[in-house]
Structure 1
């Protein structure tokens, strides 16, 4: 998609219309965008999310972020039991106004179409969502997306952040009584948990996947 140039100050003073310079989809409809709009707006940039009816565009992905995503996807695939699949960068249709895109997902195999034509998954099909937190997404991942995942019923959430040369993972499990996430552990060099299935990850091996 070609980028549109913003109107100059002189064009604004002359009464130029923003709609002549920006794509029509940049203007939100009354009440905001819906999850269905992500299907019909073909010109949206890749990895566009929907939060509270507003479009959120992805920042350029850093090398560390890409490395961690590949690392986690690879090691989780080796751990996932029959009936579960590990994928990445697919949106989750939480409700009509929220369709975020976690970095890594553990999804029920039954939710995947034979022709792999799906463009989103439902919360009930997800065993684990992982967000790799970047400097620009700290508030969004911790304070906006995490509560939405909990309200939608996604049982397990990891927030993974950079810690010097390594990484640290905050592991949350949904409390069925409160409907909120409870922090069950913070893991640095090694992550070992039994939900959603037995997982044992040596974070010190991250560089081997570079």
Structure 2
């Protein structure tokens, strides 16, 4: 029986003492797409659900259209929080001035206005507990969490309370997302999962 050559284990399979750093995400070879760094550990993305993909596309488009010209909406782009934390929100709106070069791979936390996470089964704990704490400590003023509730999008909106440094819930939106901060937004949430009409034959 022929045995092929042994494939070497990828370098990121064994973390160094103290864990990986934010800079390592840019230098480790062959990392899976959309790898995040949480507390020095690499977190790999699972296959996307249709809801997750639709929500990212919808919110990214709508926020880009509605954001003031000094802001820019991005999808699945990492945030530099500290040496051992570089999470990747599903959607974020940042100060356009922080986008200095087309080859940059992250933005500073102080440039982020809302960070938005679309919850999936495997990310439930991170999106509800781990990431909001880190975003609040990084002084990101707004955090939204989007969940699939029986096939419809529900948006949980949080604002950082300066006295405590933690997020406080300001609203839960089921049918329509309407907020005045960080800029006026009024969105039909049903549009995220509305049935797509099949293309008509020519």
Q: Is 1:198 the counterpart of 2:164 in the alignment? A: no
Partners of 2:165 and 2:42 lie apart in 1 by 26
Give the CA deviation at 1:209: 8.5
TM-score (norm: length of structure 1) = 0.87
Check if 1:157 corresponds to 2:157.
no
Deviations 1:97-153 (A, max 9, x none): 00000000101110112x411100111111111000001111011111110000000
Which of 130, 142, 146 aligns to 2:116? It is 130
TM-score (norm 2): 0.91
Correspondence 1:47-126 to 2 at 5 A: 47-113=34-100, 115-126=101-112
* Structure 1 vs Structure 2 CA RMSD: 1.5
Gaps of 5+ in 2: 1-5, 197-202
For 1:30, which of 8, 14, 17 is the aligned residue? 17
| Separation of aligned partners in 2, 1:205 and 1:87 | 20
* Runs (5+) with no aligned partner, structure 1: 1-18
Q: Matched residue of 1:178: which SS?
A: coil
The number of aligned residues is: 191
**1:23, 1:69 → 2: CA distance?**
30
